[in-house]
Amino acid sequence: MTTRRRAIILLPLTVRATRIPPRNRLGGGARVTRLRWLREWSKGSVAPFVWGGIALALLTLIGELFDAQHGAAALLYLSAVVLTSLWGRFVPALLILVLAILGLTYLFPSEFWTFQILGGTTDVVALITFLAVAFLVTRLITITRRVAEALRQAQADLAHVSRVTTMGELTTSIAHEVNQPLAGIVTNASACLRWLAGDTPNLEEAREAARRIIRDGNRASEVIARIRALARKVDTEKQPLDLNAAVQEVLALTEGEVRRNGVVLRRELAGDLPSVLGDRVQLQQVALNLVMNGIEAMSTVKDRPRVLIVRTQRGAGDRACVTVQDSGVGLDPKGAEQIFEAFYSTKRGGMGMGLSISRSMVENHGGRLYAVLGDGPGATFQFTVPQRQ
Amino acid sequence: MPNPEGMVFVVDDDASVRESLRGLLRSAGLGVTTYATAQEFLGGPRADGPSCLVLDVELPGLSGLDLQHRMTEVNLEIPIIFITGHGDVPTSVRAMKAGAVEFLTKPFVDDDLLTAIHEAIRRDGAARRQQAGMSELRDRYQSLTPREREVMGRVVAGLLNKQVAAQLGTSEITVKVHRGQVMKKMQARSLADLVRMSERLGRYTKV
């Protein structure tokens, strides 16, 4: 009996010990283990159910070994096992709690703790068990939420970094894009002054030049507004969205890059595209990624025209479908799924995050992102987003 | 459109730049035609009078430097002023070596551009005048008979009538007659004048 009791008491400690391998306690590789743990946790959070099942089975077994009120204590104890194995931080506190209750249960006969409540008979152990389990469940939910929130925040941060990195690659062409209207403004202002100079100023021409100044100034500020909208660090919020307009904005932003790389851009935007519920910034980031990848894939192409086709269409099941097709180096069919993995990159100096982040963002919208194989010399990527209900 | 000061072609894919340049150049009394691409410009009409080309370096398809190269190939000699959004040294060196008048970075000072344009138009005017003189000279040379050309080649090489006659196997009198025809047709006032013309024509007939 003593051996068994000791085994039960020590159980949380052994579970905890197997969770983190000893070498990680020394610091080496601890980060990796924690990340893997986080990832497993995120996979549908099946762990609590597994542990719950094991707990129920053990409870039945222990119910046979002990009498009834000890079974209640065992329930509490097992809850502690489950919880502490899920989240190690509670070990000390729970151990004390559990030991206290177990001690009380063994020291005093159950009748001693019985009292009347709401017309029924119950005992203190059962009450404490109930309160403790309630407390633990609440904590568990809070922790789950906190972990999910931390994960979501980490993903958002990563997406932001990736987005800003992509935009960093666009710096030259964006600078050009802003510089053009500025050049227009300076020249128009010079022209305006010239029309106003002399004995017979030409007011109509001067006015026309001033109007062009206003127009070019607005154009420059529009470019900047587009960049700021995309570079902003925002919390995800899904709103009714016109995917065509969102894609157009991305194409406006990449226009300079397209030109600089001698790429011919073909837009085939469907008129009957279903409206979707989506996060504008996220979906634009996906489109931006695909467009930039396409341009990059064609940078070594010399023997054929560099054509980038950006198409939107109504897909099967009333889904909005966005296709980005390039005439670049293409994909290795064997590695077509690998490209969506994190830290996998075919580019020199690439982070290998673009497609992986893009895929999770599309899936976050209930859609899919995939490569279409065997479609022309280059690569074709497609993502779908379900229609807004 | 009357363009007393000259004609300027502008090739830039950006509408803001094109329109602002049109305004500026018109305010300076210049005639302007704008194109969005190099291909459009190549397909467009040429100016009768002195003209120049204000050319963006970064153009979609055929770039500014490509167009400059292409123009040399097809003997389209219009002075070029390059404008660029981000001028780097290698590009500007290439452009200037290939004969550009000026290389300006956007946004540019209007006076810089207008000075460059006036210089380019002046050069084009001079080139045109020289071209016109040259083609007239060629016409005159074309009007010579083969025999007269033979005589002219030997005369400008410094041979005496006697020597020419001996070489061609005719009499000195005949050579004299041919020589008179050459002087008349070429509108040369003296032998020295004829030699200069011969030099300009770049033809040195073998003795």
pLDDT at A372: 86
Q: How many CB atoms lie within 10 A of CB B136?
A: 11
Rounded distance between C-alpha atoms, residue B162 and residue B181, angstroms: 17
* Chain B residues close to A205, C-beta within 8 Å: 23, 26-27
pLDDT at A91: 52
Pick the residue of A187, A204, A211 with the most B CBs within 10 A to test the interface with B by mutation. Answer: A187
Summary count for chain B: helices (H), strands (E)? 9, 5
Rounded distance between C-alpha atoms, residue B193 and residue B183, angstroms: 9
Pick the residue of A190, A219, A221 with the most B CBs within 10 A to test the interface with B by mutation. Answer: A190
pLDDT at B108: 87
Helix (H) or strand (E) holding A201: none
3-state secondary structure of B158: coil
* Chain A residues close to B23, C-beta within 8 Å: 187-188, 191-192, 205, 208-209, 212
* Chain A residues close to B107, C-beta within 8 Å: 179, 182-183, 185-187
pLDDT at A133: 65
* Chain B residues close to A221, C-beta within 8 Å: none
Which backbone phi and psi does B41 adopt, to 5 degrees? -65, -45
What are residue A323's DSSP bridge partners? A311, A382
Rounded distance between C-alpha atoms, residue B148 and residue B155, angstroms: 10
Q: pLDDT higher for A259 or B8?
A: B8
3-state secondary structure of B32: strand
Give the model confidence (pLDDT) of B90-139 as tens digits: 888 888 888 899 999 988 888 999 999 999 999 999 988 888 888 888 88
- Cβ B82 vs Cβ B38: under 8 Å: no
Helix (H) or strand (E) holding A384: strand A380-386
Rounded distance between C-alpha atoms, residue A257 and residue A290, angstroms: 13
pLDDT at A160: 82
What are residue A321's DSSP bridge partners? A313, A384
CB contact under 8 A, B28 and A194: yes
CB contact under 8 A, A191 and B20: yes
CB contact under 8 A, B106 and A195: no
Helix (H) or strand (E) holding A121: strand A120-123
CB contact under 8 A, B23 and A186: no
Most distant CA pair in chain A, distance? 115
Which residues in chain A land under pLDDT 70?
Answer: 1-135, 137-138, 234-236, 343, 346-351, 375
Q: Which amino acid is at A302?
A: K
pLDDT at A16: 39
- Cβ A253 vs Cβ A230: under 8 Å: yes
Residue of A nearest to B107 (CA): A183
Pick the residue of B16, B56, B110 with the most A CBs within 10 A to test the interface with A by mutation. Answer: B16
- Cis peptide leading into residue B50 (ω within 30°): no
Answer yes or no: is the ipTM higher than 0.85.
Answer: no
Give the model confidence (pLDDT) of B153-174 as tens digits: 899 988 999 999 999 998 999 9
Residue of A nearest to B16 (CA): A184
Q: How far is CA B8 from the centre of its chain?
A: 16
- Cβ A386 vs Cβ A366: under 8 Å: yes
Give the model confidence (pLDDT) of A111-157 as tens digits: 555 655 555 555 565 556 666 666 676 677 778 888 888 887 877 78
| DSSP string across A17-28 | HHHS-HHHHTTT
Residues 6+ apart with CB under 8 A from B167: B154, B159, B207
Q: Which amino acid is at A100?
A: A
Helix (H) or strand (E) holding A120: strand A120-123
3-state secondary structure of A114: strand
* Chain B residues close to A216, C-beta within 8 Å: 16, 20
Rounded distance between C-alpha atoms, residue A168 and residue A164, angstroms: 6
pLDDT at A24: 36
What are residue B56's DSSP bridge partners? B83
| DSSP string across A217-231 | HHHHHHHHHHHHHHH
* Chain B residues close to A187, C-beta within 8 Å: 17, 20-21, 23-24, 107-108, 110
pLDDT at B4: 61
CB contact under 8 A, B20 and A205: no
Rounded distance between C-alpha atoms, residue A16 and residue A332, angstroms: 44
Closest CA to B12 of B71, B43, B58: B58
Length of chain A (residues)? 389
**For chains A and B, what is the number of CB pairs under 8 angstroms?**
84
What pTM value is reported for the model?
Answer: 0.60
Q: Are strands A380-386 and B7-11 parallel, antiparallel or unpaired?
A: unpaired
pLDDT at B6: 87
Tokens of B6: 């000259």
CB contact under 8 A, B106 and A183: yes
* Chain A residues close to B58, C-beta within 8 Å: 176, 259-260
pLDDT at A177: 84
Rounded distance between C-alpha atoms, residue B8 and residue A279, angstroms: 49
3-state secondary structure of B106: coil
Mark out chain B residues that contact chain A at CB-CB < 8 A: 13-14, 16-17, 19-21, 23-24, 26-28, 58, 60-61, 85-86, 106-110
pLDDT at B1: 44
Q: Which amino acid is at B198?
A: S
- Cβ A170 vs Cβ A227: under 8 Å: no
